[in-house]
Amino acid sequence: MMTLYSGTTDPFSQRCRIVLHEKGMDFQIIDVDADHKPEDLALMNPYNQTPVLVERDLVLHESNIINEYIDERFPHPQLMPADPIMRARARLFLHRFEKEMFHHIPTLEGQNAKNLEKARAEVRDRLVEIAPVFAKHKYMLGDEYSMLDVAITPLLWRLDHYGIQLPKQAAALMKYAERLFTRPAFIEALTSAERGMRK
């Protein structure tokens, strides 16, 4: 059985919880409080961060690596595209999400007011850039829910929590977000702390 060490408020852990629930498989989740991390976490992940996936002798960290492994081990429903070209494009998108939006998470969760405003603006601008996609498509890659949708969901869920206000031209993106939030696997994967992040 897979065991996921998961931060109760950690957006990266939330991605992995969503994938585990989408797959509908047997797994165990160990909730990790960011202020009181178990000692063995640092042994499993040199960065002493969640998420960490353990399956027998295999120990993985980094949410995108964990999620691709789960997707390959349990291919139904498949979340990464089957076609190698599309899969490579999907990986590029995932890399862009990390570089352009998710690397701002520590700042968004910090106390430095000047850096906070800059991070909010950066994330808002990137989201506005991708918003037109959802005027035409149901999900990031078209009509099929994929790993790209999984990856961005925790950020969209936390927009209010991070104080990020989207302008009217992002209306299609907000409708897309609501579609993601109604998925049963997403709802099941929420921790009580995450439920409290949205009014």
HEC sequence for the chain: CEEEEEECCCHHHHHHHHHHHHHCCCEEEEEEECCECCHHHHHHCCCCCCCEEEECCEEEECHHHHHHHHHHHCCCCCCCCCCHHHHHHHHHHHHHHHHHCHHHHHHHCCCCHHHHHHHHHHHHHHHHHHCCHHHHCCECCECCCCHHHHHHHHHHHCCCCCCCCCCHHHHHHHHHHHHHHCCHHHHHHCCHHHHCCCC
pLDDT at 169 (0 to 100)? 95
In order of start, what are the domains of the chain with their CATH numbers?
Answer: 2-77+190-195 (3.40.30.10), 84-183 (1.20.1050.10)
Residues of the chain with pLDDT under 50: none
The pTM for the full model equals: 0.96
Q: How far apart are CA 123 and CA 136, in angstroms?
A: 22
